[in-house]
Amino acid sequence: MPRSVTIIDYGMGNIWSVASALKYLGYNSTVTSNIKEISNSDCLILPGVGSFRKAMVSIENLELDKAIYAAVGSGIKLLGICLGMQLLGTSSTEDGYYKGLGLIPNSVEKFTKDETGDLKIPHIGFNAVEHPNDSVLFQGVAKKSDFYFVHSYRMLPQSPEESILCRYGIKFLAGYENKNIFATQFHPEKSQTNGLLVLRNFLEYKTHA
């Protein structure tokens, strides 16, 4: 079990909160944009608050994209949080079209009026998340537990396997897990005890790569 977690720093994330939650769970974390440290870590977290385009530009300028691909390719597990999840997608329409890291095969678009009706954008607050029984991230988490969301952009499920969902007018992807790629649209570090459980499940998960 890795006791040390690497938080990828691209200058925009809410890094303190993630680090505090890890500390609470008994893990040390390193916040870095150093490519070597990223490729040598055993567990990566990509946090995020802010604009997709600016984040991707920063990631590309720091060559963190290459470091992330290399790490993931060698079996290191990765958790993208909020914008960090969106960055793993194929592209986003925030501030015009911009390409993402492509580790999750879904694109990111803004909630539309058709989807949300009278509901307010951004989607801010605690909302219930449904998850399959065999989910890694949600082991031991009660069905329909609440998690904290704050976002205007979302990914839509593209296949029945993508079944960590939340409803906000429409069902969107609240989380993602495939091999060593994990992501949550909500903020586990801001979701009280429910979120702490999800983080712990990620940290304790053993990859088979």
Partner 1 sequence: MHKKRIIFSLLFNNGNFALSRNFNLQNVGDLKWLQHNYNFNKISFSIDELMLLDVSRSNRNLKKFSDTLKKITEGCFVPICAGGGLKHISDVHTLLRSGADKVIVNTSLFDNKVFIKEIADLYGEQCIVASFDLKKNSSNQYELWSSSGRRLEGLAKEYLERLDKLPVGEIYLNSIDQDGTGNGYDLDVLNILPSHINKPVVIAGGVGNSKHLAAGLSDSRVDAVATAHLFNFIGDGLKKARSDLIEIGYDLPIWDGYVAEKVSGHHMETKFD
Catalytic residue numbers, as ranges: 82, 187, 189
Among residues 30, 93, 127, 139, the one that binds partner 1 under rule CB under 8 A? 127
* Count of residues that interact with partner 1, criterion CB under 8 A: 44
- Kindly tell me which of 25 and 62 has the beta carbon lying closer to partner 1: 25
CA 126 – CA 123 distance, rounded (Å): 9
CB-based contact 146:203 (threshold 8 Å): no
Per CB under 8 A, 110 contacts partner 1: no
Q: Is 158 in the site for partner 1 (CB under 8 A)?
A: no
The helix/strand count (H/E) of the chain reads as: 7, 14
DSSP state of 200: H
Q: List the one residue from 4, 20, 74, 207 that touches partner 1 (CB under 8 A).
A: 20
Instruction: Tell me, residue by residue from 183 to 202, as one string, x for binding to partner 1 by CB under 8 A and - for no binding.
Output: ----x-xxxxxxxxx--x--
Binding partner 1 (rule: CB under 8 A), the pick from 17, 32, 90, 135 is 17
Asked if residue 29 lies in contact with residue 18, where contact means CB atoms within 8 angstroms, the answer is yes
Residue 21 or 67: the one with the smaller Cβ distance to partner 1 is 21
Is 151 in contact with 166 (CB distance < 8 Å)? no
Q: Is 98 a residue that touches partner 1 (CB under 8 A)?
A: no
Question: Using only C-alpha atoms, what is the Rg of the chain?
Answer: 16
User: Residue type for 23, please?
Assistant: K
> Of the candidates 126, 136, 139, 181, which one interacts with partner 1 according to CB under 8 A?
126
Distance CA 119, CA 136 (A): 31
Burial of 161 (0-12, 13-18, 19+ CB in 10 A): exposed
Using CB under 8 A as the criterion, what x/- string covers residues 32-61 for binding partner 1?
-----------------xxx--x-------
Residue 115 CB, shortest distance to partner 1, in Å, is: 13
Of 20-28, 67-75, 97-105, 154-162, which part binds partner 1 (CB under 8 A)? 20-28
Half-sphere exposure of 173 (CA within 13 A, CB side): 32
- For residue 155, which of 185, 122, 118, 124 has the smallest C-alpha distance? 185
Could you say whether residue 12 binds partner 1 (CB under 8 A)?
A: yes
117 lies in the site for partner 1, by CB under 8 A: no
Chosen residue from 1, 4, 16, 57 binding partner 1 by CB under 8 A: 16
